[in-house]
Amino acid sequence: MTALLELDDITIHFGGLTAVKQVSMSVEEGSISALIGPNGAGKSTIFNLVTGIYPPAEGRVRFKGRDITGQKPYQITDLGIARTFQNIRLFSNLSVLDNAKIGCHTQGQAGLLGALVPLPRVRSEERRITERAMEALAIVNLEDKREETAKNLAYGEQRRLEIARALAAKPQLLLLDEPVAGMNAQEKQGLMQMVQRIREMGITIMLVEHDMNFVINLSDHVDVLDYGERIASGPPEQIKNDPQVIEAYLGKDLEIIHLEF
């Protein structure tokens, strides 16, 4: 398999704190890759480095072999990386469809004149964006709620709408930041099946998640962070029995020989 995303010795500091220290990892094209670790390990910071929210102090980020270090978030989205956030960030007073259409913003070509004068080209572009948004809503089973106001959706549906908005950008790499946080068992199972379908569409997935059952049952590969450093990397079955991973989660004084999932 070919590495779609590569991190080479990434480091970032916040004040006197080193949040991520010389982390190297890769995400293989077509895979579902998970990034796990205790709270404060640097997982979401890695996502923010990949998507251009933070520039690294050291190291490089490469996507499809291209150095994207230091590029702006909108430029990185345009290259084919989209994400969701740990805390839901919807436009709560807009419709479900309009929230999904926002994911297409980097693809729009109309400009200010097009917004003021509804030329045929602009109308054609609007139809294309609406079609793309509806395709994304269909993937997450929300097409029937396209006219609903986003704030009126159930919590699990809002999570799925965030994924639809990211999918509307037509990414090659989808980053999911704690996608099942706050969900019940049935919602988690549904989301797991949805993520598998998204992968079958040819989209590579990298996720940050605390739910170990979700990670172990879904992922092809797992990287583990602790205090900003990568301490383990490998297939899920290997990771869940790794003594260093168990210590990071449970503490070395506990007489536990393996993690239960």
The domains found in the chain, sorted by start residue, are 1-80+174-179+204-261 (3.40.50.300), 88-170 (3.40.50.300)
Q: Looking at residues 69-92, what average pLDDT do you find?
A: 92
Q: Which residue has the tokens 């799925």?
A: 160
Which residues pair with residue 17 across a beta bridge? 14
> What is the pLDDT at residue 253?
44
pLDDT, averaged across the chain: 88
pLDDT of residue 153: 95
* Residues above pLDDT 70, as percent of the chain: 88
Q: How far apart are CA 156 and CA 179, in angstroms?
A: 9
Least confidently predicted of 105-119, 131-145, 202-216: 105-119
**Which among 160, 165, 155 is positioned nearest to 97, based on CA atoms?**
165
pLDDT given for residue 254 in this prediction? 40
- Between residues 86 and 196, the one the model is more confident about: 196
Task: Please state, in angstroms and rounded to a whole number, the distance separating the CA atoms of residues 8 and 20.
Answer: 12
For residues 177 and 47, the answer to whether their CB atoms sit within 8 Å is yes
Instruction: Please name the residues in contact with 139: beta carbons below 8 A apart, sequence gap of 6 or more.
Output: 164, 167, 194, 197, 198, 201
pLDDT at 86: 85
Higher per-residue pLDDT: 138 or 120? 138
Report pLDDT for 212: 86
Q: How far apart, in Å, are the Cα atoms of 60 and each of 24, 51, 53, 65, 73? A: 9, 12, 14, 11, 16
* pTM of structure: 0.88
pLDDT of residue 95: 95
Percent of the chain with pLDDT over 90: 72
DSSP H stretches of helix in 40-87: 43-50, 73-79
How many beta carbons lie within 10 A of that of residue 15, not counting itself? 6
Q: Write the DSSP symbol of residue 43.
A: H
Q: What is the mean pLDDT of residues 177-197?
A: 93
The packing angle between helices 155-167 and 120-139, to 10°, is 130
Q: How far apart are CA 26 and CA 221, in angstroms?
A: 10
Residue 81 has pLDDT above 90, yes or no: yes
